[in-house]
Amino acid sequence: MDKKTMTKVIFIMVAAMAVALLIRGIVLHSKNDKQAQTNVEELPFTEVEPEEKPYSGCIVVVDAGHGGKDPGKVGVNGTLEKDINLEIALLLKDELEGEGITVVLTRYDDSGLYDANSSNKKVQDMRARLLIIEESKADLVVSIHQNSFGDASVRGPQVFYYETSENGANAAELVQNALNEDLEIARPRVQKGNDNYYLLTKCSNVMVIAECGFLSNPEEEALLNDKEYQQRIAEALKRGICEYLESQRVAPMDIKEPEEPVI
């Protein structure tokens, strides 16, 4: 083999190796693509059809009271109401979404609904919440709060509604009963009408305020900080909410036999 032929052979071998490497690269790439597609298909949420859920089409606003510069009530051991409200609201969101309910939150983190340079943050915050509620077209609004009282022995959940709202009273009764029963409250309270809380008076949607417990009672403050107890609260709230949504369903019309045609 002369030098020229030798150079040719080497050139052909190098070219062949390059082509082989290129083909291998393409095959591996398409394999990875296939694997990625398979992983996406395996995600559980794609397997559940939304219409299978019992409350698909229902909309609920979950309003975590206070936030940002407004801590709400402060517990005997320093718990901030705004933190407990948000934690329960996020748990409740998951619970309701599990039933197919569309959930609108007024806040997702520890931030108030106001501008940093606003001169009246509380008013701006309340108006922003009201706007979210009105735009949501919600079937029910549930505002999460915690209570406080001078007498440290006072404890237990209490639900409020706008005093002239029949649907509000109905929703509040169902939510109050669910909290009393599922949290095994020793001295259960009764839901109460209110005519001065800003959101209750301004909101045209059916609304309840769920005060889940008293931060002024040290035992209840500890419970309200407990993840398991928060989950029990979220599940109890969900039960009351679902019972209310169920009560609002229009009964199906009687199906009548078609009349005999007149000849």
Binding site for Zn ion (CB under 5 A): 65, 72, 145
Q: Which is nearer to Zn ion, 145 or 239 (CB)?
A: 145
Bridge-based pairing of strands 192-194 and 207-214 is unpaired
CB of 144 to Zn ion, least distance (A): 8
When the beta carbons of 81 and 95 are compared against Zn ion, the nearer one is 81
Rounded to the nearest 5 percent, the helix, strand and coil shares of the chain are: 50, 15, 35
The least CB distance from residue 66 to Zn ion, in Å, is 6
Distances (CA, A) of 31 to 20, 35, 42, 43: 17, 6, 17, 19
Q: Which of 167, 221, 242, 199 is nearest to 64 (CA)?
A: 199
Q: Least distance to Zn ion from the beta carbon of 242, Å?
A: 24
- Under 8 Å CB-to-CB from 5, ≥6 apart: which residues? none
Rounded to a whole number of angstroms, the minimum distance from the CB of residue 170 to Zn ion is 23
For residues 205 and 156, the answer to whether their CB atoms sit within 8 Å is: no
User: Given the complex with Zn ion, which of 76 and 243 has the nearer CB atom?
Assistant: 76
Q: Which residues of 48-86 are buried (b: 16+ CB within 10 A; e: fewer)?
A: eeeeeeebeebbbbbbbbbbbeeebbebbeebbbbbbbb
For residue 33, the minimal CB distance to Zn ion (Å) is 52
Between residues 65 and 240, which has the closer beta carbon with respect to Zn ion? Answer: 65
Closer residue to Zn ion, CB minimum distance, 79 or 170 = 79
User: What's the min distance (Å) between Cβ of 98 and Zn ion?
Assistant: 26
Element (H, E) at 147: strand 140-147
Please, which residue, 72 or 156, has the CB nearer to Zn ion?
A: 72
134, with CB counted inside 10 A (0-12, 13-18, 19+), is middle
Q: Which residue is nearest to Zn ion (CB)?
A: 145
In this structure, the number of other CB atoms found within 10 A of the CB of residue 93 comes to: 19
Query: 147 or 170, CB closer to Zn ion?
Result: 147
Q: Closest approach of Cβ 256 to Zn ion, in Å?
A: 51
